[in-house]
Amino acid sequence: MFVTLPDLNVHVRLDGPPGAPALLLLHSLGTSSDIWDGMTEALSRHFRVIRPDMRGHGLTGVTPGPYTIEGLAADALAVLDVLGVGTAHVAGVSIGGLIAQAMTLHAPDRLLSVALIDTAPVFPTEASWRERATTVRASGLAGMADAVMARWITPAGLETPAARGLRQIFLRTDPEGYAAACEALAVCDLSARLHAITLPALVVVGEDDPSTPVATARTLAEALPSARLVVLSHASHIPTVERPDAVAQVLVDFLVPTGDDEMAPDLYAVGMGVRRAVLGTAHVERSTTRITAFDRYFQTFITRTAWGQVWSRPQFDRRTRSIVTLALLAGLGCEEEFALHVRASRNTGCSDEDIAELLLHVAVYAGIPKANGAIRCAKEILAEMAAEKNG
């Protein structure tokens, strides 16, 4: 599909259930969203996978350079806006990882976590990137294809169908789009700001990567306040093509809470993001301002468990989980919480018809008095919401 930004038509691929947690995947320089093909099926079992082609790459439009990393990060956030995605996990390869870093610095409230694959906070040197941009504008990409592929893929993998396909993607990249992105890399250095990236972070690197070697990845991971490092064997700079199954598994292990460690620091961040997406940022902000020492641990507990461990699980989409939650609250007679989740239904895709239907089941299995009280409450809340929408 295509989405339109003020100055750009962006090609985006969507996979996975619409109600699942969003995972934004950002590709590398001179490639396209195709570099994620080998792992999309595995990831879409857990996430709504969003794969845009970067400005000047793939099927996305080409605008004159130079580009900036901050501008490319703004493009990615704008795509989420058009798609109606409030919060997302983000993973990026090479320049995609640098863009992901910029996104976390610019809009940390929009992201749940960040996975940085074969990337760095700075790609030296400025002179070499400007020289490359000049060369590509003058002569195209064909003359550097062999050298680029030798850095992207290990020697043992160069003749695989996936590597040959990657070469074709590179050769079909628009020279102006490529050159303009080179100019973005030339002037970006986020090294001094890494300490401000407090989101749960994963750093992944191919052990044979000459562009962003293991030492660079280790330095990046050590500079981030909450990061873990994974080194992939038999992989170079684009492991999403060379070892897609391994990268997919690493991402799933990082992103899907297992519940084994209820105090893991990432569960609170994930839970808060899901809580905001379901209940609405305004409600969550009001709730957090009322926290005192008396209920601080309780609020942390429910954010980690209810939202970080349960609501974030991929087995149910948010509409289904909303229906289940409403039915349970109605059956238990928890009117205040039931009203809260009726309001939240607008954020989960649960319709008025869904609520009416689930209350029939409540009447059968929990009793007519419980259902009658919930119906009265739901009608009041839905009427208030309709009035707010119309007025």
Architecture of the 2-255 domain: 3-Layer(aba) Sandwich (3.40)
What is the DSSP code (8-state) at residue 143? G
Model confidence at 88: pLDDT above 80 = yes
- More confidently predicted of 383 and 112: 383
141-147's contacts with Cβ under 8 Å and 24+ in sequence apart are 141/30, 141/170, 141/171, 141/173, 141/175, 141/178, 142/171, 145/170, 145/171
Q: What is the location of CATH 1.20.1290.10 in the chain?
A: 265-390
**E strand spans, 102-199:** 111-117
pLDDT tens, residue by residue, 9-40: 999 999 988 878 899 999 999 999 999 999 99
Q: Is 156 in contact with 37 (CB distance < 8 Å)?
A: no
CATH superfamily membership of 265-390: AhpD-like (1.20.1290.10)
Q: Strand 48-52: give its sheet, edge to edge.
A: 2-5, 8-15, 48-52, 22-26, 88-93, 111-117, 201-206, 227-232
Residues of the chain with CATH 3.40.50.1820: 2-255
Reported as a single tens digit per residue, the pLDDT across 245-281 is: 999 999 988 887 654 444 343 577 778 878 888 898 8
pTM, two decimals, is 0.73
Which residues, other chains included, contact 199 with Cβ-Cβ below 8 Å and sequence gap of 6+?
104, 108, 111, 112, 113, 114, 226, 269
- Residue-wise DSSP of 12-60: EEEES-TTSPEEEEE--TT--GGGGHHHHHHHTTTSEEEEEPPTTSTTS
What is residue 262's predicted lDDT score, i.e. its pLDDT?
40
Mean pLDDT score of the chain: 92
- Statement: residue 326 has pLDDT above 60: yes
Q: How far apart are CA 95 and CA 77, in angstroms?
A: 16
Q: Which of 145-154, 254-263, 381-390 has the lowest mean pLDDT?
A: 254-263
For residue 365, what are the CA distances in angstroms to 221, 253, 328, 339? 52, 38, 11, 20
